[in-house]
Chain A
């Protein structure tokens, strides 16, 4: 079945550092890929998505590119802020599917 593997945390960075959170996936078809973010004490919210190979999703300075050849969707940000401290989840959904498969999440802490 489908699965998502993302780098284990926690990840601690200083403000303005570069962020990469790795995500790779296994799927039988051509999934849509997502990054969701969970701020402390809140539900998840969509950060960005990509629906086909070579698509780049971007939002709030975060970017991720759908790489079919490496089955990856790594999340990057050039300069993190304290307000980016959260848990980040990579997820996939096959086209037309009613199921969303999540990775285990990566906790990011940004210190001033």
Chain B
């Protein structure tokens, strides 16, 4: 089954404790992206990757890091999480670029205390 998986689905952590949210897709897509969803703000793009070893900032990259060492994986790293990073996070992938249909993961709900 073609899908995008994220782990964990739910995470409660404390300020400053480094964490990683994993994202994996099995569709051989070149493009992957991370979004955060906040009430009243919709979805905002954090980082995206055009292909292996090629990443770029989205609209709200501060406080986040990403890497793309393999085509299928695109982890999101919070080196020192803060309460304003409490949000619902989605990973997405597409064949090539944001102008193609993006397939979204189920989401990761993160709470930073």
Interface of A toward B, CB cutoff 8 Å: 32, 42-46, 49, 51, 89, 93-105
Contact = CB atoms under 8 A, between A and B. Distances in A.
Contacts, number: 60
Interface in B75-110: 90, 92, 97-99, 101-107
B33 interface: yes
26 contacts: A42-B107, A43-B90, A43-B104, A43-B105, A43-B106, A44-B92, A44-B102, A44-B104, A45-B104, A46-B102, A97-B97, A97-B98, A97-B99, A98-B31, A98-B48, A98-B50, A98-B56, A98-B97, A99-B45, A99-B98, A100-B102, A101-B45, A102-B35, A102-B43, A102-B44, A103-B42
Q: How large is the interface on B (under 10, 10 to 19, 20 to 34, 35 or more residues)?
A: 20 to 34
Contacts of A43: 4, 90, 92, 104-107
Q: Is the interface of A mostly helix, strand, loop or mixed?
A: loop
B99 A96 contact: yes
